[in-house]
Amino acid sequence: MLRGVRTSIVLPLAIAVVIGACGGTPASTPTGNANTPSSSAPSSAAASPASVASPGTEGSDLAVARIESIPSPCELADGLGFVWVTSYSRDEVDAIDPASNAVIRTFAVPQGPCGVAVGFRSLWVSGGSRTVSRVDPVSGKQQAAIPIPGEIYDVQVGPDAVWASDRSNGSLVRIDPATNTAIGTYRVGASADGFRIDDGAIWVASDRDSALIRLNPADGSVVATIAVGTKPNWVAIADEAVWVENTGDGTVSRIDPATNAVTGTFKVGRGPVYLAVDAGRLWVTNGLTRSVSVLDASSGAPIADIAFDTGVHGLAAAEGSIWVLDLHGPSFLGNLKGTTVWRLDPGRLRR
């Protein structure tokens, strides 16, 4: 049900740029078999990125809005004219109007929501109750609750189905939106974490396998198992590459979908968590260094490192902006104590 409307605090904030050495330098450029990690030495030829001050710093101009009304924001999704954010502690999903940067809809959902996706004229929200809830985006009414056997890590919408990753059982569950039932369960690996769907492929990070696994969505078969860095968790898709962040070693890996080969591994900050591609740039939140690294999505070259005073968690590209969830705490994952959603203007980022 609709719990009420909350307003946002919108501040004309921003970011001073200082040249310096920080995260984003290439770690290696592997070649050869897609399942063989590279042993190449770190490269020192790349230019250092710009060091960018906290979005809350006086005189900065990268942050254009600060929404301070969503407790424990967990994940974001774009669709139906809004940016949707799950509130883990308050058991709700909130709609931010990008025209006003205000929360204009708040819907109650099952306990512990985190993953959220938009499709088939609905919201799809995953929660601690081991269900994927289908929610009407206008009324907030729960239309269905689809049970998932284990721990749900992510939920995504494909062309003809909704998918959820079952981390504890290492599988993907396919949901038919016509019947609101699970119609297939496909084994991925030791775990199934963040994933993305694109051009006839599903790309799944498996942190327990230290691999990116490519599936055929038609039958759920494994097409390729690609060795990447340590503990990969989230995936982003660019025009000619698939990217995965490696939480365990502070890197991101670039994969060529034509060959299923790793074509580059690049250093970012410690404990990378989420990543997104927008306008030719890769954006990565670093949970342990409280920063967002920005890389060129074609070459992996470092562009900037954006510092935050407190921890950062989720991140998404939507409505021509980059939206970052601020934990208000130094810990890496699990400490969802903040209330802040930052809206950044990527067009203002200059070297």
Decide if 2 is inside a domain: no
Decide which of 193 and 335 is more confident. Answer: 193
- Structure confidence at residue 340 (pLDDT): 86
- Domain count of the chain? 1
Residue 262, pLDDT above cutoff 80: yes
Averaged pLDDT for residues 203-211: 97
Mean pLDDT of 63-90: 92
Residue 263 CA: distances (Å) to CA of 42, 166, 225? 14, 28, 15
- Domain-located, residue 30: yes
More confident residue, 217 or 51: 217
Write down the pLDDT at residue 290.
87
pLDDT in tens, 315-341: 999 999 999 998 665 444 455 567 889
CATH number of the domain encompassing residue 220: 2.130.10.10
Q: What is the pTM of this model?
A: 0.83
Residue 6 covered by a domain: no
CA 96 vs. chain centroid, Å, equals 18
**Residue 9 belongs to a domain:** no
Is 291 contained in some domain? yes
Q: How far apart are CA 293 and CA 272, in angstroms?
A: 9
- Name every residue whose Cβ is closer than 8 Å to that of residue 9 and which is 6 or more positions away in sequence: 66, 67, 68, 69
Per-residue pLDDT at 59 exceeds 80? no
Average pLDDT over residues 247-269: 97
Nearest in space to 218 (alpha carbons), one of 280, 174, 278, 157: 174
Specify if 1 maps to a domain.
no
Chain-wide mean pLDDT for the chain?
83
Domain that holds residue 192: 17-348
Look at residue 211 and tell me if it is in a domain: yes
